[in-house]
Amino acid sequence: MVTIPNRELRYDPDDTICSRQESMVNNQFCSDVTFIVGTNKQRIYAHKLYLTIASEYFYAMFFGNFVEADESEVHLEDVEPDVFLNVLRYIYAQQLHITNDNLRDIFDCSQKFMLMELKKPLCRFLQDQVEPESALAIFSRNRHFAFPAVDEACLGLIRNNPLYHFNHEDFTTIDRESLSMILTSKQINCTEDQLYSALDIWEAANDNEGSCELRSLVKERSYDCQKLLIFGQSINEAYDDTPYNLGLTLKSDVPVSLYGLGVYISSNAHVVSVELKIYEQEVEISSDVFECPNKSVITVHVADLFFEEVVLVPQNSYRIWIKTSPLSAMVMRSPSVIHNRIKFSMGSHHNILQVALAHLYCEETPDSKKN
């Protein structure tokens, strides 16, 4: 920034108090302290009054028992001139230019100079970038800043759709502390087995000791969504190995995120394979294969199957297709759910028998809740 020696303030009609204050940054006019900044020892002119009002650090520097109190020049070797000038503009006129490149330097400067108020725009800058695609990278990056609001925003997305993030390329690059925060989530839309599988993927890419400690963090938790029970008539075992479907049309006014479902398991096999596909207007939008341990071969039980978030749009028709091997499918007539806000029309005019599901794990799509 070019220094303008002995500049007089302008009072033109277009000038404001804020613009005049900003013009005092690195200006010799009324300057009573000079900072020698960075390795190249750049001279930057400042005013003790502005700095003292902004920070207790500068108050102690200029009016405490420090050598700088009696000096007209102060050396700051561990701060770069561009960063220091940026901070001065915020102190003088609440103007701050933040980029991904200078974010950390400005934050470290705010820590050094005890500029607590400066953290608010830094947090807001980082929080505004949080999206599903960037959540893992920003979450891990935030370990340096420790902004609670950023952690909350990132964890909200990760907990909502964990299987998407576990399969994301950034997952294996997150740090151990960030992974621990995910594993200790009290609510997350996946099973414990899926958490263990995600941990296996992370461990394979990170040569870290103490995997037992991480595994101990995976404890019983609840899901971050609602469990809608499905009611129907005449639930029976399927007659053959033909895949069965469940027709689904969302009748409520806002989109609904589907995270998983409960499938009836009735088999003598100790492991049952469940192939699951979801179609929207006959276009496949989700496909998974699950290997379900059959803990009770003498009775029917329910296996919770979780997959990446599928957003169901109002009035669109969907079809849940399920094939089990060995045969263990259950079928029902007239399936339905009961909920005050989430309304589904279930079944199909083409097939009287529908695949019998115990429940749906779903929630009004997070973005739609804000409306």
Q: What CATH number should be reported for the domain holding residue 52?
A: 3.30.710.10
| Position 3 in a domain | no
Last residue of a domain, one of 107, 124, 141: 124
Q: Residue 63 falls within a domain, yes or no?
A: yes
In whole angstroms, how far apart are CA 190 and each of 40, 150, 160, 312? 54, 22, 9, 19
Kindly write down the DSSP assignment for every residue of 100-124, as one continuous string.
TTTHHHHHHHHHHTT-GGGHHHHHH
Q: Specify whether 164 is located in the same domain as 48.
A: no
In a domain, 4, yes or no: no
pLDDT for the residue 265: 84
The side-by-side arrangement of strands in the sheet containing 231-237 is 231-237, 330-336, 354-355
Same domain flag for 157 and 198: yes
**Is 290 within a domain?**
yes
Least confident residue range of 105-119, 126-140, 249-263, 285-299: 285-299
Average pLDDT over residues 54-76: 83
Q: How many other C-beta atoms lie within 10 A of the C-beta of residue 368? A: 16
Q: Is residue 222 part of a domain?
A: no
8 Å CB contact between 145 and 107? yes
Q: What's the pLDDT at 240?
A: 63
Same domain, 95 and 209: no
Q: Is 28 helix (H, G, I), strand (E, B) or coil?
A: coil
Confidence band, pLDDT 50/70/90 cuts, at residue 283 = very high
Same domain, 278 and 304: yes
Asked if the structure places residue 371 within a domain, the reply is no
Query: What's the pTM value of the predicted model, to 2 decimals?
Result: 0.85
Q: For residue 127, with 0-12 CB atoms within 10 Å meaning exposed, 13-18 middle and 19 or more buried, which class applies?
A: middle
Structural domain includes residue 342: yes
Which tokens sit at 64?
A: 């405490």
Provide the CATH number for the domain around residue 307.
2.60.120.820
Q: Are 137 and 109 members of one domain?
A: no
Give me the number of domains the chain comprises.
3
Averaged pLDDT, 304-326: 93
For residue 189, what are the domain limits?
130-217
> What are the structure tokens assigned to 21, written together?
């204050």
State how far the Cα of 88 lies from the Cα of 47, in Å rounded to an integer.
Answer: 10
The distance in angstroms from the start CA to the end CA of the chain is 45
- Domain membership of residue 9 (yes or no) is no
Final residue before a domain boundary, out of 164, 186, 217: 217
DSSP 8-class letter at 149: H
Same domain, 235 and 346: yes
- Whether residues 36 and 106 share a domain: the answer is yes
Question: Which contacts qualify for 211-214: CB closer than 8 Å, 24 or more apart?
Answer: 214/176, 214/179, 214/180, 214/183
136, 287, 358 from 365: Cα distances, Å:
20, 20, 22
31 and 72 housed in the same domain: yes
User: Average pLDDT of 169-176?
Assistant: 95
Kindly state whether residues 248 and 343 are assigned to the same domain.
yes
Amino acid letter, 299:
T
Band of pLDDT at residue 202, cut at 50, 70 and 90: very high
- The pLDDT tens digits of the residues spanning 73-112 come to 899 989 999 999 999 999 999 999 999 999 999 999 999 9
Residue 349 pLDDT exceeds 60: no
Do 212 and 232 lie in a common domain? no
| Mean predicted confidence (pLDDT) in 35-45 | 93
Q: What pLDDT band is residue 238 in, cutting at 50, 70 and 90?
A: low
Last residue of a domain, one of 167, 184, 217: 217
Within the chain, how many helices (H) and strands (E) appear? 13, 15
Cα gap 45→25, rounded to integer Å: 7
Q: What is the pLDDT of residues 112-136, one digit of tens each?
A: 999 999 999 999 999 999 999 999 9
The rounded mean pLDDT for the chain is: 88
> Is 342 found in the same domain as 308?
yes
* Contacting residues for 122 by C-beta, under 8 A, at least 6 apart: 98, 103, 106, 107, 110, 145, 147
Token pair for residue 41? 């020892």
Residue 291 has pLDDT above 70, yes or no: yes
The span from the CA of 356 to the CA of 228, in Å, is 14
Lowest mean pLDDT segment, chosen from 72-81, 98-107, 219-228, 342-351? 342-351
| Residue 370 predicted with pLDDT over 80 | no
Q: Do residues 155 and 120 share a domain?
A: no
